[in-house]
Homo-oligomer: A and B are copies of this chain.
Amino acid sequence: MKLKHLVGLRFKERPADCVIESHALMLRGGYMKYVGNGIFSEFPVLKRITAKIERIIREEMNRIDGQEVLFPVVMPAELWEESGRYESVGSELVRLKDRSGSKLVLGMTHEEAAVQLVREYGQSYQQYPFMIYQIQRKFRDEARPRAGMIRVREFTMKDAYSFHTSQEDLEKYYEKCYQAYNRIFQRAGIPEVVTVQSDSGMMGGSVSHEYMLLAEAGEDSIVICKECDYRANMEAAENLVENDGGEGKKELTCISTPDCKTIEEVCDFLKSDVKTSCKAVVYQKNIDDSYVVAFVRGDYEVNETKLRNLVGAELHPAEITEDSPLVAGYIGPYQISDQVAFYCDRSLKGIESLVAGANKEGYHYDGLNLERDLPEITYYDIAKVKEGGICPCCKKPSITIRRGIEVGNIFQLGTKYTKSMKMQYTDEKGTAQYPVMGCYGIGIGRLAASICEAKHDDYGPIWPISIAPWEIHLCCLRSDDPQTKEVSDALYQKFLDAGMEVLYDDREGVRPGAMFSDADLIGIPIRVVVSPRNLKENMVEITTRDKSVKEMIQIDQSFDFVKGLRERLFAEIEEKVES
Contacts and interface: CB of A to CB of B under 8 A. Distances in A.
Nearest to A67: B44
Contact of A70 (B47, B69, B70): B47
A141 B99 contact: yes
Given A137-B136, A154-B74, A120 B9 contact: yes
A372 interface: no
Contacts of A41: 69-72, 113, 116-117
A537 to B, nearest CB: 33
A75 B33 CA distance: 13
A137 B99 contact: no
Contacts of A76: 35-37, 39
Contacts of A72: 35-36, 39-41, 137, 154
Contacts of A394: none
Interface stretch (A90-98, A200-208, A358-366, A396-404): A90-98
A130 interface: yes
A118 interface: yes
A35 B154 contact: no
A121 B9 contact: yes
Contacts of A5: 65, 67, 130
A79 to B, nearest CB: 7
Interface string A40-79: 1111101110110000000000000101111111111011
A570 B102 CA distance: 46
Contacts of A7: 67, 69, 117-118, 121, 130, 132
Contact of A68 (B47, B71, B78, B91): B47
A74 B153 contact: yes
Nearest to A106: B74
Given A7-B67, A8-B121, A75 B36 contact: yes
22 contacts: A5-B65, A6-B67, A7-B121, A9-B120, A30-B121, A35-B71, A35-B72, A35-B75, A35-B79, A37-B76, A37-B102, A39-B74, A41-B69, A41-B72, A41-B113, A41-B117, A43-B117, A44-B68, A47-B69, A70-B156, A74-B106, A137-B137
Given A41-B71, A48-B68, A99-B141, 18 more contacts: A5-B65, A5-B67, A7-B67, A7-B117, A7-B118, A7-B132, A8-B121, A9-B121, A35-B75, A39-B75, A39-B76, A44-B67, A46-B70, A73-B137, A73-B139, A74-B153, A94-B98, A98-B153
